[in-house]
Amino acid sequence: MSNQSIEIPIDLPDVQVLSAKKTEQGEWLIELESKLRGTKCRQCGQEVTQFQGYGTSLRVRHLPLFEVPVWIEWRPKRYRCGHCEGKPTTTQFVSWHEPRSPNTKPYERWLLKLL
Ligand SMILES: [Zn+2]
């Protein structure tokens, strides 16, 4: 670490940072992955741990750093249920993001405080 930079915790639970870089627009793009294993089947609700690969990568806004916009990108893990007929797959939820939201939860809380 040079004397002109600092290291800042990502402050999202159960994630591993894979990379952090500046985009062409000068914004931060942080790639990470969920460290959690398994999820609950969307049909039967049982815990499923049979890893079925990754879904399409998602990119959402996170809290800005020194007024620079920050984006979080990750590929949701998918799991297959061995109990249900048709063996459906379920995408793993992460505690810091509401499905289909363009923002992380901490960023949404921050936006609300600004109102
Ligand atoms: Zn199931």
Asked if the structure places residue 63 within a domain, the reply is yes
Asked if the structure places residue 94 within a domain, the reply is yes
Query: What does pLDDT average to over the chain?
Result: 94
Of the candidates 84, 91, 13, 103, which has an alpha carbon nearest to the alpha carbon of residue 51?
91
Asked if the structure places residue 10 within a domain, the reply is no
The CA 82 to ligand 1 mean position distance, Å, reads 7
Amino acid identity at 104 = T
| Model confidence band, residue 3 (pLDDT cutoffs 50, 70, 90) | confident
Asked if the structure places residue 9 within a domain, the reply is no
The CA 9 to ligand 1 mean position distance, Å, reads 36
pLDDT for the residue numbered 57: 96
The CA 73 to ligand 1 mean position distance, Å, reads 28
Asked if the structure places residue 70 within a domain, the reply is yes
CA angle 76, 79, 82 (to 5 degrees): 170
- For 42-86, how does the pLDDT look when each residue is reduced to its tens digit (9 = 90+)? 999 999 999 999 999 999 999 999 999 999 999 999 999 999 999
Specify whether the CB–CB gap between 54 and 77 falls below 8 A. yes
Total tally of structural domains belonging to the chain: 1
Mean pLDDT across 95-113: 95
Asked if the structure places residue 1 within a domain, the reply is no
The CA 57 to ligand 1 mean position distance, Å, reads 24
Domain range for residue 83?
A: 15-114
The CA 87 to ligand 1 mean position distance, Å, reads 7
Query: What residues have CB less than 8 Å from 62, skipping those under 6 apart?
Result: 12, 30, 70, 71, 72, 103, 104, 106, 107
Quote the pTM value.
0.86
